[in-house]
Amino acid sequence: MKKGLIFNIQRYSLHDGPGIRTTVFFKGCPLKCQWCQNPEGIDTDVELFRHNQKCIHCGSCMTHCHEKAIDLTDSGPLVNRQACNRCMECVDICPTGTLEMAGKEYSVNEVVQAALKDILIYEESGGGVTISGGEPLLQYEFLLELLLALKKLNIHTAIETSGYCSWEKIKEISKITDLIYYDLKLIDDNSSRIFTGASNILIMDNLERLVISGANIVVRMPLIPSVNDTRDNIEHTAGYLSSIGVKCIELLPYHNLGSVKYEGLDLECPFNYRPNSELIRQASVIFEANGIYITSEG
Ligand code: SF4
Ligand code: SF4
């Protein structure tokens, strides 16, 4: 049976769907949104993550690494990512958890067992399991098996998707999952290519087909300063949603809590604006003036 690569299983989530939920983060994403706050969710393979503040400078990782990919500095281990072959032996050897593996393989049954720990909480709160990422549909076969297994147990499921996948795949998933959170980031294709690394044509096409199919969708828009918060983009988004029969949208505030993760992966953080809570209020006013109502998060 196929295994899935997952970088986090988070219990007691309050913002990823109705009730109290377990959120399962699938690793790997076809987009590269500049503001991504889960950079460990982008790469489709396991990665070595550094928490240098935990390092006690014992030197074990450096002496153990066969590829000589680690140099020990005053601020902790420095990893030569070109030399590192991701064997993860240094993770096992490190006594303090400074070096960590981002991404781990799970069987469907292992994820189901993790979810079952909170079955009573789901029942009491109206919660369930949300599959997030990364992009869950990138691991389609595993996603399908997992959703079917959860459905058999009558556990409510939701997925959070960019919609950047084939219609056949998202159509099949929409028949099984109870709820789809669908990200609509940019309405202009050129801007989409610049800021997310991908065209939005497929994304919008899939959204329109899902609406026609009657799938249970919540359209969401992460509001990103200086990217999609302009009046022009919001008015165009509202006009587009009206034209395809969507009446409401959920706005997600931008935050930069994940910027420290880029350092842990030795990646350059491409985007680091200060969060501005006013943006949500301003955008809500424009959406509502254009006939699109705002739903609250989660
Ligand atoms: S993952 Fe393997 S190759 Fe990479 S730094 Fe650690 S021990 Fe060296
Ligand atoms: S093994 Fe861990 S604690 Fe020791 S030097 Fe390497 S990163 Fe630091």
Instruction: Tell the CATH topology of 4-44+104-295.
Output: TIM Barrel (3.20.20)
Atom 6 in ligand 1: which residue has the minimum CA distance?
90
Query: Would the CB of 236 count as within 6 Å of ligand 1?
Result: no
* Spacing, Cα 8 to ligand 1 middle (Å): 21
Ligand 2, pocket residues at CB < 6 Å: 55-61, 72, 76-77, 93-96, 98-99
Output the CA 80–ligand 1 centroid distance in Å: 9
The ligand that comes nearest to the alpha carbon of residue 60 is: 2
Residue from 49, 51, 53, 58 to probe ligand 2 pocket by mutation (most atoms less than 8 Å from CB): 58
Same fold, 4-44+104-295 and 47-102: no
pLDDT 10s per residue in the chain (298 long)?
A: 689 999 999 999 998 999 999 999 999 999 999 999 899 999 999 999 999 999 999 999 999 999 999 999 999 999 999 999 999 999 999 999 999 999 999 999 999 999 999 999 999 999 999 999 999 999 999 999 999 999 999 999 999 999 999 999 999 999 999 999 999 999 999 999 999 999 999 999 999 999 999 999 999 999 998 899 999 999 999 999 999 999 999 999 888 888 889 999 999 888 877 777 788 888 999 999 989 999 865 4
Q: Atom 6 (ligand 2): residue with closest C-alpha? A: 61
**With DSSP H G I counted as helix, E B as strand and the rest as coil, what are the percentages for the chain, rounded to 5?**
40, 20, 40
Question: What contacts 67, CB < 8 A, 6 or more positions away?
Answer: 83, 84, 85, 87
% residues pLDDT > 90 (the chain): 88
Overall CATH class of domain 47-102: alpha beta
Residue with tokens 């096409």: 205
Given this model, what pLDDT does residue 297 score? 55
Cβ–ligand 1 distance for 101 under 6 Å, the answer: no
Pairwise CA distance, residues 265 & 291, whole Å: 43
pLDDT (tens digit per residue) in 166-201: 999 999 999 999 999 999 999 999 999 999 999 999
- For the entire predicted model, the pTM comes to 0.93
Q: Which ligand is nearest to the CA of 66?
A: 1
- Hey, what are 82's tokens? 């070109």
Which residue, judged by its Cα, is nearest atom 3 of ligand 1? 84
Instruction: Give the residue extent of every domain in the chain.
Output: 4-44+104-295, 47-102
Computed over every residue of the chain, the mean pLDDT equals 94
Per-residue pLDDT at 298:
41
What is the tens place of the pLDDT at every residue in 104-137?
999 999 999 999 999 999 999 999 999 999 999 9
| 11-32 per-residue burial string, b: 16 or more CB within 10 A, e: under 16 | eebeebbbbbbbbbbbbbbbbe
Q: Which atom of ligand 1 is nearest to the CA of 91?
A: 6
Residue nearest to atom 8 of ligand 2 (CA): 55
